[in-house]
Amino acid sequence: MKYSHKLIFKTTLWLLGVVAISLLTFYYLQKSSFKKKTDQIAANSFKLFFGYPSLGAHFYSDSCRYANSTKEFYDYYSSAVWAEEAKRTMKDPFSKQNGDLLYVRVFSKANGISEGFLLISAGIDGEIDNQLPDSVFFETVNALRFYNSLTPASILSFRKYDLHFSFKDYLFGNKDMLVEYANGVEIFINSASQRLYTPTTLMANLYPKGYTKLDCSVEGKAKRLNDSTIIVADRTNRVVCSMYKGRSAVIGESEQVKIVGKFRNKID
């Protein structure tokens, strides 16, 4: 009987050792895989022209909204080489199906326009776990559950991800990873505000350089034509500004203003 007890004890210890080694091996394999995949996400964010922040910004600058789908993103980059580069950036290294990052538009309740977007990775379990509503608004993003957190980007900048593998989260936590969260209006304003002109200096800068489109700010005295159009003028030139839907502004006649927008090659 003593021999039997010793055998059972040794067998139990052996089994516990096998289980412990298996768990440790599994842990380090998952940790190594996690680091490799998050490093790939970080590298994609750091791409100069096709990084996550700039990928959406080019489209938004031209359309004053974000794309309705990833296909519309790819179609926008009409060059085959550019479209393929965009597709490589959007590939989700965590996806079990080798799929793309999940692209989700974020809408403004003021005007119903997609002014922001999320990029969501399948994360450590390889599958999207969030049940997404029909429409996501800036006010409802916090209802979604992610492995990590990001504040909405208001400038074009490279993301820094502070991500570490957690075995607890792997088993019980939020697994979807938030790769990008962008506020298009804020990004556009902060980018265009770096180029400030009067109507006259704007004209002077457009002609020699041959711009057909230019994100910029123009300042001068205001004159309202109607609810959606404002003229900004100096002594020599004037700029007609079609105002953005859903952003009401109280502007007095002859008030000094600064309007942020895109010049679209309409010179009279």
What gap in Å lies between CA 202 and CA 264, rounded to an integer? 12
**pLDDT (tens digit per residue) in 99-138:** 899 999 999 998 899 999 999 999 988 899 999 988 999 9
Looking at the DSSP bridge assignments, the partners of residue 239 are 232
DSSP three-state, residue 99: coil
Cα separation, 73 vs 66, in Å, equals: 9
Reported as a single tens digit per residue, the pLDDT across 48-105 is 677 787 788 888 888 889 999 888 888 887 766 677 778 888 899 999 888 899 999 9
**Is 141 within 8 Å of 61 (Cβ atoms)?**
no
Model confidence, pTM: 0.82
